[in-house]
Chains A and B, each alone.
Chain A
Amino acid sequence: MKFSAHPAPHLPPTRRDRVLRVACVLALLGLALMIWGIFVPTPMPILIGLSVGQAMGTSSFVLYLIVLATDLGIRKKLVRAGRTEKS
């Protein structure tokens, strides 16, 4: 794999990690709510799973994408900087 040869630039446990942790917790809560309605198929669990559960899952997904995009942006800048140094 191309990237693993160049380990990620070691940023201090910054906002990125905190955002990711929030994304993980949101995902766990969202998944729990979505699954609740399967085991207890009554109005409230199903309703909450379809609304709150979905919302949490989606926010977790979006947070992850934001981290990914920011991270790749930084990497590109570093790679570009590295190239200009060599030349």
Chain B
Amino acid sequence: MTSVREWIDSGRHAVSERWHNGPRWMRWAVIAAVIVFFYALPNREFYQWLGPIPTTGSNFGQVLFTISIYVLLAVGLNIVVGFAGLLDLGYFGFFAVGAYTVAVFTSPSSDLKTLWPWLLALPLAIVLTMISGVMLGTPTLRLRGDYLAIVTLGFAEMIRVAATSSAFLKGQRGFNQIPHPPGSYSDGKPIFGVLDPRPYYWLVLTLIILVVIGVRNLNRSRVGRAWISIREDEDAAQLMGVPTFKFKLWAFASGAAIGGLAGALFAGKQNFVSSQNLELLNSIIILAAVILGGSGNIVGAIVGGGLVAYLIERFRGIEFFGIELYEYRFMLFGVVLVVMMIFRPQGLIPNRRRAAEFKDRRKEVIVGG
């Protein structure tokens, strides 16, 4: 066991060395190849060569769309949990705010009857989720400790209850005929239709790339340094003059905005939003994805989100000694997380600093004494 781990570790180390010390063009070439691969992935002509990787039980394009939404959510939650170190247990609530904002302003079943096009509702959805993030964060982020975790958990539950029981939000009947994103091919057919999920996937993929570029730049700026200091020692950060509350709120609100964006994209694809879309456990799944991938590392969050969503979809329709694996997906993730926490708490693709934080000598005292 140990030797296998050492072997894997040394292999990973070698790859990481080569990555960081290799020439710039090589890194760009690899990134470009990865991006091209993912744009090509939903095409049958391409994925039929990939053996058992594509899902068999369901439409692979649809699965890829779902995965891309999870990846976007993981990238957003990583800002909150990974960068600023805030435990948000209700992140999926922001997804719901985004999806419902689009639904309420665009769907004919909405009481508002505004019937906006999707593209008009999109910025509003992002702004409203951001505002809800600020409203939730302002009272709680001043407090230390676990309050935030509890309040965010309560927030997601509150959204779910509101969606289920308020007449305005239509409960299980939901909102239908939510319009799709705009655009048509040269022959007049809409790009974003009902049958082909691929354009939606490409849209989300493109947005993921843009969001990642933005987040990466933010994280490398003064803002990023402030986040790290808050995550590592909030009191010390404040003593060094970092306005901790402001930056926590920023992390929380920008994470929320990305969650809202994901929700709006989902609503635009799905055509239908109801309280049944609000599985509370999704918050936990996304959190698990971020931790699994390597909290604080953008690539880690992408890999974690992609892997978790893919595995969930891969379980669908697979029976194991007569047991439908999909039914046990949450339990399996629980087990995987526990195992990860024991053997690799810093995640699959850890952040360099995070790894060092786990080696913090102050913790030796606790272990030793």
Partners in one complex: no
